């Protein structure tokens, strides 16, 4: 369960929890987990402390 100050923050936290689970899974580490194609990422955000684990499209920094 994710809690936040409002619904948007709760949604972001919930999505980050999914990203944490995906990127810290043994399936990801073994290379057996994929969404579209191997190494393309999963489409879920992670907290800044985990950004070094991102792969593919997830690793692209959109910041200006």
Q: Is residue 34 part of a domain?
A: yes
Q: How far apart are CA 2 and CA 17, in angstroms?
A: 8
User: How many helices (H) and strands (E) are present in the chain, helices listed first?
Assistant: 2, 0
Is 10 a residue whose pLDDT tops 80?
Answer: yes
pTM: 0.80
| Domain span at 30 | 7-58
Q: In the chain, how many domains are there?
A: 1
Looking at per-residue pLDDT, the higher value among 14 and 4 belongs to 14
Q: Is residue 54 part of a domain?
A: yes
Q: Which of 54, 57, 36, 46 is nearest to 12 (CA)?
A: 46
Q: How far apart are CA 45 and CA 1, in angstroms?
A: 17
Summarize pLDDT for 16-52 with one digit per residue, the tens: 999 999 999 999 999 888 887 777 889 999 999 999 9
Q: Is residue 15 part of a domain?
A: yes
pLDDT of residue 62: 60
Q: Is residue 64 part of a domain?
A: no
């Amino acid at each position: 369960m994710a809690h936040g100050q409002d619904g948007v923050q709760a949604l972001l936290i919930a999505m980050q929890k999914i990203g944490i689970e995906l990127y810290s899974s043994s399936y990801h580490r073994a290379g057996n987990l994929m969404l579209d194609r191997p190494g393309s990422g999963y489409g879920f955000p992670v907290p800044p402390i985990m950004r070094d684990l991102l792969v593919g499209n997830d690793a692209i920094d959109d910041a200006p």
